[in-house]
Structure 1
Amino acid sequence: MHALGLRVAAVLGAGDVVVLTGDLGAGKTTFTRGLGEGLGVRGPVTSPTFVLARTHPSLVGGPALVHVDAYRLANALELDDLDIDFARSVVVVEWGRGLVEALTDSALSIEINRPHGGGTEAIDTDDAPVEPRQVRLEGTGPRWN
């Protein structure tokens, strides 16, 4: 998920919104860490669960990364109340499906599915088990046409 975040960072710029969907432990924050590294932002990128949104300024003159955890938000108005600078940042919203659409006309939706048991682990180069993920990326709106 980290490596995918690095790759996606290469196509993002200020004004882009990414909506992450997936179960707990699917890799949403790991993806966002890779995205932050790829964008060259100040880290570490950690889950903003308790602060709702965390801004990571660029260290390389690019856009800031705004990382939002919308799990506890009830509606788009609560997300809008966070006063996020959508125009000059790359905004990643975990658990944002159904909320972000009211605030922007374009978004890159990334759905992450991970296996739940069944012994499908692979072994990575450090000999640690790695659970494979199925990831679906779908761009909507003028930005992604």
Structure 2
Amino acid sequence: MRSSFPQEGRRQFATAADTQAFGEELGAALEAGDLVILDGPLGAGKTTLTQGIARGMGVKGRVTSPTFVIAREHRSLGEGPALVHVDAYRLLDDFGAGSGDPLGDLDALDLDTELEDAVVVAEWGGGLLAQLSDAYLFVGLDREPENRTETGADTREITWRWVNAGN
């Protein structure tokens, strides 16, 4: 990830458009080989954030939840890396239970892009952190932040931190 994006932080967003704008900012900072783990409850905005990441990366194709296909690949419209959008819950459920190697199982999905040449964004990835990579960006999405603003019930809080498990 480019150093222009903070290594950790916390922000609140009142609308889906705000969440996508933050994702766009994040996506512009991501580089090939980056792994982003999105963790949060159903409806917290994981796919909405990924839509913004895709815009920031300049990839093609409509970004939707990968729930039924396990992984979607979105190629770059320019020279940048592809985006591989993964439903890690399904990956673990369908593939990882047998091999114990979710990243290897993802690679076995016969994607057109080598994973080290792409940015991988994994929804529901919280339980796979140690298995996927030693270094990753962990993004937590919370539908009910402790310090909710008075502007409405749809406020989301996003926290992020770069994790280097090898150190």
Q: Sort the TM-score into its range (normalised by shorter chain).
A: 0.7 to 0.9
Q: What's the counterpart of residue 17 of structure 1?
A: 35
What does 1:60-71 align with in structure 2 at a 5 Å threshold?
60-71=78-89
Q: What's the counterpart of residue 131 of structure 2?
A: 102
Q: Which whole-Å CA distance do the structure 1 matches of 2:34 and 2:102 have between them?
A: 20
> Deviations 1:18-71 (Å, cap 9, x if unpaired)?
000011110000000000011010110111100100000000110000000012
Q: 2:101 aligns with which of 55, 66, 77?
A: 77
Aligned pairs, number: 136
| Structure 2 unaligned spans of 5+ | 1-18
The answer to whether the 8 Å contact 1:21/1:112 transfers is yes
Code of the aligned partner of 1:140? V
Code of the aligned partner of 1:15? G
| Structure 1 unaligned spans of 5+ | 123-128
Higher-helix-fraction structure: 2
What does 1:1-145 align with in structure 2 at a 5 Å threshold?
1-72=19-90, 73-74=92-93, 75=96, 76-83=100-107, 85-115=114-144, 122=151, 131-141=154-164
Q: Which whole-Å CA distance do the structure 1 matches of 2:118 and 2:35 have between them?
A: 8
* Residue 11 of structure 1: how far off its partner (Å): 1.4
Code of the aligned partner of 2:126? R
What percentage of aligned pairs have identical amino acids? 50
The answer to whether the 8 Å contact 2:37/2:137 transfers is yes
How big is the alpha-carbon RMSD for the aligned residues of Structure 1 and Structure 2? Answer: 2.4
Code of the aligned partner of 1:32? T
Q: What's the counterpart of residue 126 of structure 1?
A: none
Q: Which whole-Å CA distance do the structure 2 matches of 1:14 and 1:94 have between them?
A: 18
Q: Which whole-Å CA distance do the structure 1 matches of 2:106 and 2:58 have between them?
A: 24
Q: Secondary structure at the match of 1:71?
A: helix
Q: Which whole-Å CA distance do the structure 2 matches of 1:136 and 1:86 have between them?
A: 25
The answer to whether the 8 Å contact 1:16/1:86 transfers is no
